[in-house]
Chains A and B, each alone.
Chain A
Amino acid sequence: MDLGSLQRRYIDFTSALLREGILDGQFTQLQQLQDESNPDFVLEVVTLFFEDSEKLLNELSRTLEQQVVDFKKVDAHVHQLKGSSASIGAQKVKDVCMAFRNYCEEMNQEGCLNCLRQVKDQYLLVKNKLETLFMLEQQILAAGGSIPMMW
């Protein structure tokens, strides 16, 4: 694939992510923050997000499987997850987290489990997409091009 089509694909992919609402403006802001002094900023943050989220999701699964659910703990975890996802702009994850917190307030275990599944799905989806995006970036950089800025 030549550089031009790679870059076009990159742009298409990013705008599709934004259009579908998987990512939001915050992600583009993150991209803006990345510059020469901080070349891997987005990657760093996103990787941090992946690590953090996986830890939280595991924690959540374990907490919710217990006989007596500590909803406070769940809520704290979900809050964390929500904050992280909002910061990187993973909008869908954030949205599910908001619903998740409502169920936590109601102490609705079933709803929580349901939300956990959704959060996992959404998380995997966004992780998948972001990994693809980074792969594209790597390819573009490898081809000697620059990452196209959509703005």
Chain B
Amino acid sequence: MANRRVSFADDRQCKVCRRWRNVLVVLFVLCWFSCSIFLLRGFEDNGILEKLGVKNLQNERKKTLLDQYNRSKHQLRALAKLISPFNQDLETVSYEREAVKTSEEHQKIFPETWFNILALIVVAIGLFCAGFAFGRFSKSSHEQFQNQKHYKPHNSKGSGKWSKKFLFLGVLFGLLVAFWIFVNMNADFTERRKETLVNMCEERARMLQDQFNVSMNHVHALAILVSTFHHGKQPSAIDQQIFAEYTARTAFERPLMSGVAYALRVLHAEREEFEKKHGWKIKKMETEDQSLAKDDYNLEKLDPSPVQDEYAPVILSQETVSHIVSIDMMSGKEDRENILRARATGKGVLTSPFNLLKSNHLGVVLTFAVYNTNLPHSATPEQWTKATVGYLGASFDVPSLVDKLLHQLASKQTIVVNLYDTTNVFAPIRMYGPDVDGAGEMHISNLDFGDPTRKHEMHCRFKHKPPPPWSAITMSVGVAVIVLLVGHIFHAALNRIEEVEDDYRQMRELKVRAEAADVAKSQFLATVSHEIRTPMNGVLGMLQMLMDTDLDATQLDFAMTAQSSGKALIALINEVLDQAKIESGRLELEAVAFDVRDVLDNVVSLFSDKSQAKGIEMAVYVSEQVPAILIGDPGRFRQIITNLVGNSVKFTEEGHIFVSVYLVEEVNNLEDDLCETLSGFPIVDKQKIWENFSKFKSSTEGNNAINLIVTVEDTGVGIPQDAQSRIFTPFMQADSSTSRTYGGTGIGLSISKCLVDLMGGEIGFVSKPGIGSTFSFTAVFTEGSKTSGDIKRHFSDSTLSDFQGLRGMVADGRCIRARIIKYHLQRLGIHVDIVTNQDSARSTILEACSTSGRSRLAMVLVDKDAWGEGSGISFPQLIECRQNGIVLSQERLPKMFLIATSLRPTEVYELKSAGYADSMIKPLRLSMIIACLRRALGVGHKRQQVKGPKALGSILHGKNILVVDDNAINRKVAACTLKKFGAKVTCADSGKEAIRRLQPPHNFDACFMDVQMPEMDGFEATMTIRDIENRVNELIKSGEASPEMYGNVAHWHVPILAMTADVIQATHEQCLRCGMDDYVSKPFEEQQLYSAVAHFFESDMIGVS
């Protein structure tokens, strides 16, 4: 039982575990969902941002395109050439296409990284969960394993630690993933920024380069113009005025140039002529002092050029640079190198940056040589030099140039652009841009200004530091927070589970302890009860003896009170012992064949004294459909009924107690005869109890099972409504005042309930204060065969056959009472008719008198209250009244019996004279009826009946009793005691001797057998005796031996009673198992001896009254 409870608890624990796990899984799924939603949304947002960025870039590009397109348009206009705009459009489209492509590429890259991240997160969480689950599951499997064996708390803790480790690892992994996301996104972000920078830088560089080249090309064109119109025509078509005007009007073509000038190549030999022709001296370009302020630049102040091989005086100039006319360009160091290089290569060359004259801006000078002949590109430098006629120079104002360019582009604010001349790698010259270093990384774009000897670079930087990568930070922090949250949740869950498990473990320990304590309590109770019984037996014995002495009335009263208290105490101890036994699960039901009707008779005879004293009518009725022999535990069955009847007797002052036994199947069709009650007092409706029994709803039991329903109804005080709920709780009586009024412990019903449960039945009750209570219970038995030999039956078949076939009549106005009498008579094989009407009863009797043979009416049973209080007594007189005149021999009249609850002495006298043969006092029971009928009808073997002075004497008188004991003293004492009660005692000193003496036929009425004897103990001896008896019975039955050979006894079964010093249940059970009928304590205790012996000899007793 305890084990089952534990395993049940384990199941429950598993269920709790599973529920927790389910909750965790749900939680995890929720987390996972929120996580993915968050990630997806983050992805979308970022995508949009990305698109916006790309859009910006595209816009920028478009603008640039537009600029270039516009510029080309300007150029076209300037050259007055017509070009189809279609080409331009095509170009634009292709540009746009490219831009779109790049933006698409951008978009492609990002989803890929995002999916990577997502996959990683999923994997991480999956791992995390798998670890957790592994921890949990391995734990639970551990526990299941443990449950099968012993409980080891350490392992579960260990697995708890494992899952914690997994949890920690999972969280760590999650955080790593978060960090990885951050790093990844940040790298991505930086990459993009860099790309943007590169794009922007390259774009600017290309634009600058383009514009520069455009200007350069124009200068080149100008050179060719000069070559064509100045040198190619005689006289020159260009003079200073034309040149100035043309250049001024085409200045928009050279937006980056501050001015252009043309210098003629003049050899020293030609100087005189030249100076004379132009009217001015060739002047030297620079003063010694380069740092001189250029503002007060004055042409007149300049010195004439010193003598040189060659001169390059400026003859034509744009108005913006008119101040340099007549200056020898060869005199400046930079310019001279430039000129030399230009004429040698035939291409435009650039000076290194320097401060321009006058404007004081940093600038470069572009020089183109003008040749008199059109030389091929493959010409040598000497050829180029020889063909040179002059030089066209143009100065670039770099800062304004770049400024202008940058102004055209958007996002000027975001980047810093520096322009360097890096011809000398170690000392780059800054041409444009702020001094300060921009933040972050820098991109360098090479510029090709058409002069291979000069190298220029553009350095781009972001103006501002890159903003913190917010999206990456939010994303990674978000993931980290989620991971931590999930981790926290799991951790909390783990802790909670651990806590619960700890609690559970504690509870289990406590439970085990509590159960141990409970068992110990029960054992203690059992032990103590047993120990108390021994001295109590002494007390009771002494009291009994004391009462046998010559006491005066007061003393006798005291002694009787003491004895009844002692008996109550013993009963209580027995009950407690039972309860303890049931609680400790040691009570097991027997499965032996027994007769239900005998059991009920037994119970009724137990309470007959009390019910007679109280004047309560008590009756038993067993349905015909209940089989004669059932297999079950008669002792426990009797105990339940005894408890219920005992309660009823205790609480009933007037009316009746009625015990009825039906089959469960039968009860449903029973409602018709519930109209009247036994004593006429109202009773409660017992149908209500039955409605609550589950058996009634599903009465399909196994084929062999017999479902009995036993009902005990009384007309007692009833149970108060508020107490009805706790009626089956141990030690709870309906009312604390109840125990004061009626005594008792209130344990009986609790025991009864336990016993009913053990028998597979149900117990219930209905009670109404003032009306009475009805208790009902069901019990499951199996049907036994009638032939099973070892049934304990108090009446041999021969006894019953005495009355077989007789006819009887029951005359009673109340049919339920009549039916009870009929039931008892039918057990004896008597045919019974019920007549309820007084007149018809009389006529039936008279009719029966005239018939003879088997159909003759042998007996008439009349209830004392058949037709009203006391009306039964005068019934025979009615017959005799009518009998006047007609001679009717007394012999022919059926024997009349009066059945009464109580009879006053005067009434006893009265009924004899009224014509009754005898009277029976209720409660009716078979033994009593048999005795009474035998006496009156003179059937069966008669024995000499001598009334003894005492009850024990009366039943033992004249009986042949065999006492078996190896101890001579015991033997002698027992023999003497029995002799004192009038028995004829024979002694045997061993089991073998007993077997010899009890060999049928013998004339012993009973045998008292010591249990513990050397050689062959009482149990063995009894078993042997029973074997022999069975064999004889078989022989008689099969006809191999006539009953005459065995003393005319058809069924041999000598009552054997064990004599034992230890009166404990185990011994009792063993006694019954060995075929003994009962046991008595040794030395004899009178009351116990009586109750044991009375059983067997009661049927021979003369009526109690």
Choose among B969, B976, B1012 the residue that contacts A38 (Cβ–Cβ < 8 A).
B976
A88 to B546, CA, bound (A): 19
Indicate with 1 or 0, residue by residue over B199-217, a CB within 8 angstroms of chain A CB atoms: 0000000000000000000
**A13 contacts chain B at the CB level, 8 A cutoff:** no
Q: Within B434-456, which residues are at the interface with A (CB < 8 Å)?
A: none
Known: A49-B969, A80-B966, A83-B970. Is A29-B545 also a contact (CB below 8 A)?
yes
Choose among B545, B972, B1083 the residue that contacts A86 (Cβ–Cβ < 8 A).
B1083
Cβ–Cβ contact B967 & A83, under 8 A: yes
Q: Which residues of B contact A48 (CB under 8 A)?
A: 968-969, 972
Cβ–Cβ contact B1083 & A29, under 8 A: yes
A79 to B545, CA, bound (A): 27
Cβ–Cβ contact A151 & B976, under 8 A: no
Q: Which residues of A contact B1040 (CB under 8 A)?
A: none
Q: What is the size, in residues, of chain B's interface with A at 8 Å between Cβ atoms?
A: 26
Q: Which residues of B contact A76 (CB under 8 A)?
A: 1014
**A63 contacts chain B at the CB level, 8 A cutoff:** no
Q: In the complex, how many angstroms separate the beta carbon of A107 from the nearest chain B beta carbon?
A: 19
Indicate with 1 or 0, residue by residue over B518-559, a CB within 8 angstroms of chain A CB atoms: 000000000000000000001001100110111000000000
Known: A24-B538, A33-B977, A38-B976. Is A80-B967 also a contact (CB below 8 A)?
yes
A87 to B980, CA, bound (A): 16
A52 to B965, CA, bound (A): 14
Q: Which residues of B contact A52 (CB under 8 A)?
A: 967-969
Cβ–Cβ contact B973 & A45, under 8 A: yes
A25 to B542, CA, bound (A): 7
A23 to B1083, CA, bound (A): 14
Q: What is the size, in residues, of chain A's interface with B at 8 Å between Cβ atoms?
A: 25
**A109 contacts chain B at the CB level, 8 A cutoff:** no
Q: In the complex, how many angstroms separate the beta carbon of A71 from the nearest chain B beta carbon?
A: 15
A25 to B549, CA, bound (A): 13
A127 to B965, CA, bound (A): 24
**B1082 contacts chain A at the CB level, 8 A cutoff:** yes
Cβ–Cβ contact A151 & B548, under 8 A: yes
Indicate with 1 or 0, residue by residue over A15-55, a CB within 8 angstroms of chain B CB atoms: 00000000011101110110000100100110011001000
**A7 contacts chain B at the CB level, 8 A cutoff:** no
Choose among A25, A33, A87, A151 the residue that contacts B967 (Cβ–Cβ < 8 A).
A87
Known: A29-B1083, A33-B976, A82-B1061. Is A88-B550 also a contact (CB below 8 A)?
no
Q: Within B539-586, which residues are at the interface with A (CB < 8 Å)?
A: 541-542, 545-546, 548-550
Cβ–Cβ contact B1083 & A26, under 8 A: yes
**A84 contacts chain B at the CB level, 8 A cutoff:** yes
Known: A45-B973, A83-B969, A88-B973. Is A25-B1012 also a contact (CB below 8 A)?
no
Q: Looking across the interface, which residue of chain A has its beta carbon closest to that of B1010?
A: A83
Cβ–Cβ contact B969 & A151, under 8 A: no
A49 to B1082, CA, bound (A): 17
Q: In the complex, how many angstroms separate the beta carbon of A86 from the nearest chain B beta carbon?
A: 6
Residue from B968, B973, B1012 with most neighbouring chain A CB atoms (10 Å): B973
Q: Which residues of A contact B550 (CB under 8 A)?
A: 151
A49 to B970, CA, bound (A): 10
Q: Which residues of A contact B538 (CB under 8 A)?
A: 24-25
Known: A49-B969, A83-B970. Is A41-B976 also a contact (CB below 8 A)?
yes
Choose among A26, A28, A33, A45 the residue that contacts B980 (Cβ–Cβ < 8 A).
A33
Q: Looking across the interface, which residue of chain A has its beta carbon closest to that of B971?
A: A87
Q: Looking across the interface, which residue of chain B has its beta carbon closest to that of A46?
A: B969
Cβ–Cβ contact A87 & B973, under 8 A: yes
Q: Looking across the interface, which residue of chain A has its beta carbon closest to that of B973?
A: A87
Q: Which residues of B contact A88 (CB under 8 A)?
A: 969, 973
Q: Which residues of B contact A79 (CB under 8 A)?
A: 1012
Q: Which residues of B contact A38 (CB under 8 A)?
A: 976
Q: Looking across the interface, which residue of chain B has its beta carbon closest to that of A86?
A: B1083
Q: Which residues of A contact B1012 (CB under 8 A)?
A: 79
A24 to B542, CA, bound (A): 9
Q: In the complex, how many angstroms separate the beta carbon of B1008 from the nearest chain A beta carbon?
A: 13
A32 to B541, CA, bound (A): 14
Q: Which residues of B contact A44 (CB under 8 A)?
A: 972
Q: Which residues of A contact B1061 (CB under 8 A)?
A: 82-83, 86
Q: Looking across the interface, which residue of chain B has its beta carbon closest to that of A24?
A: B538
Cβ–Cβ contact A87 & B969, under 8 A: yes
Cβ–Cβ contact B545 & A25, under 8 A: yes
A60 to B1052, CA, bound (A): 42
Q: Looking across the interface, which residue of chain B has its beta carbon closest to that of A98?
A: B1061
Q: In the complex, how many angstroms separate the beta carbon of B963 from the nearest chain A beta carbon?
A: 12
Indicate with 1 or 0, residue by residue over B973-989, a CB within 8 angstroms of chain A CB atoms: 11011001000000000
Cβ–Cβ contact A84 & B969, under 8 A: yes
Q: Which residues of B contact A86 (CB under 8 A)?
A: 970, 1061, 1082-1083
Residue from B538, B541, B545, B1083 with most neighbouring chain A CB atoms (10 Å): B1083
Q: Which residues of A contact B1014 (CB under 8 A)?
A: 76
Q: Which residues of A contact B968 (CB under 8 A)?
A: 48, 52, 84
A84 to B970, CA, bound (A): 6
A131 to B262, CA, bound (A): 177
A30 to B977, CA, bound (A): 8
A86 to B1010, CA, bound (A): 14
Choose among A24, A26, A30, A151 the residue that contacts B549 (Cβ–Cβ < 8 A).
A151
A29 to B548, CA, bound (A): 11
Q: Within B1076-1090, which residues are at the interface with A (CB < 8 Å)?
A: 1082-1083
Indicate with 1 or 0, residue by residue over B650-682, a CB within 8 angstroms of chain A CB atoms: 000000000000000000000000000000000
Q: In the complex, how many angstroms separate the beta carbon of B534 from the nearest chain A beta carbon?
A: 10
A48 to B976, CA, bound (A): 14
Indicate with 1 or 0, residue by residue over B950-969, a CB within 8 angstroms of chain A CB atoms: 00000000000000011111
Q: In the complex, how many angstroms separate the beta carbon of A2 from the nearest chain B beta carbon?
A: 25
Q: Which residues of A contact B1010 (CB under 8 A)?
A: 83
Q: Which residues of A contact B1082 (CB under 8 A)?
A: 83, 86-87
Q: In the complex, how many angstroms separate the beta carbon of A52 from the nearest chain B beta carbon?
A: 6
Q: Which residues of A contact B974 (CB under 8 A)?
A: 87
A83 to B989, CA, bound (A): 14
Q: In the complex, how many angstroms separate the beta carbon of B101 from the nearest chain A beta carbon?
A: 106
A6 to B541, CA, bound (A): 29
Q: Looking across the interface, which residue of chain B has its beta carbon closest to that of A34?
A: B976
Cβ–Cβ contact A29 & B972, under 8 A: no
Q: Which residues of A contact B541 (CB under 8 A)?
A: 25
Q: In the complex, how many angstroms separate the beta carbon of B1043 from the nearest chain A beta carbon?
A: 37
Q: Which residues of A contact B542 (CB under 8 A)?
A: 25
Q: Within A53-97, which residues are at the interface with B (CB < 8 Å)?
A: 76, 79-80, 82-84, 86-88
Q: Which residues of B contact A28 (CB under 8 A)?
A: 545
Q: Within B1004-1051, which residues are at the interface with A (CB < 8 Å)?
A: 1010, 1012, 1014
Q: In the complex, how many angstroms separate the beta carbon of B1017 from the nearest chain A beta carbon?
A: 11
Residue from B965, B968, B1082 with most neighbouring chain A CB atoms (10 Å): B968
A38 to B969, CA, bound (A): 15
Cβ–Cβ contact B967 & A84, under 8 A: yes
Q: In the complex, how many angstroms separate the beta carbon of B607 from the nearest chain A beta carbon?
A: 29
Q: Which residues of A contact B546 (CB under 8 A)?
A: 151
Cβ–Cβ contact B545 & A45, under 8 A: no
A151 to B976, CA, bound (A): 19
A122 to B969, CA, bound (A): 18
Q: Looking across the interface, which residue of chain B has its beta carbon closest to that of A150?
A: B549
Residue from B545, B548, B550 with most neighbouring chain A CB atoms (10 Å): B545
Q: Within B605-625, which residues are at the interface with A (CB < 8 Å)?
A: none
Q: In the complex, how many angstroms separate the beta carbon of B971 from the nearest chain A beta carbon?
A: 9
Known contacts A33-B976, A87-B974; 6 further A-B pairs (Cβ under 8 A): A25-B541, A26-B973, A76-B1014, A83-B1061, A88-B973, A151-B545
A and B contact pairs by CB, cutoff 8 A, 9 listed: A24-B538, A25-B545, A33-B976, A83-B969, A83-B1010, A84-B969, A87-B967, A87-B973, A151-B546
Residues of chain A touching chain B, judged by Cβ–Cβ distance below 8 Å, are 24-26, 28-30, 32-33, 38, 41, 44-45, 48-49, 52, 76, 79-80, 82-84, 86-88, 151
Residues of chain B touching chain A, judged by Cβ–Cβ distance below 8 Å, are 538, 541-542, 545-546, 548-550, 965-970, 972-974, 976-977, 980, 1010, 1012, 1014, 1061, 1082-1083
Give the top 3 A-B pairs by smallest Cβ distance, nearest first: A151-B549, A84-B969, A83-B967
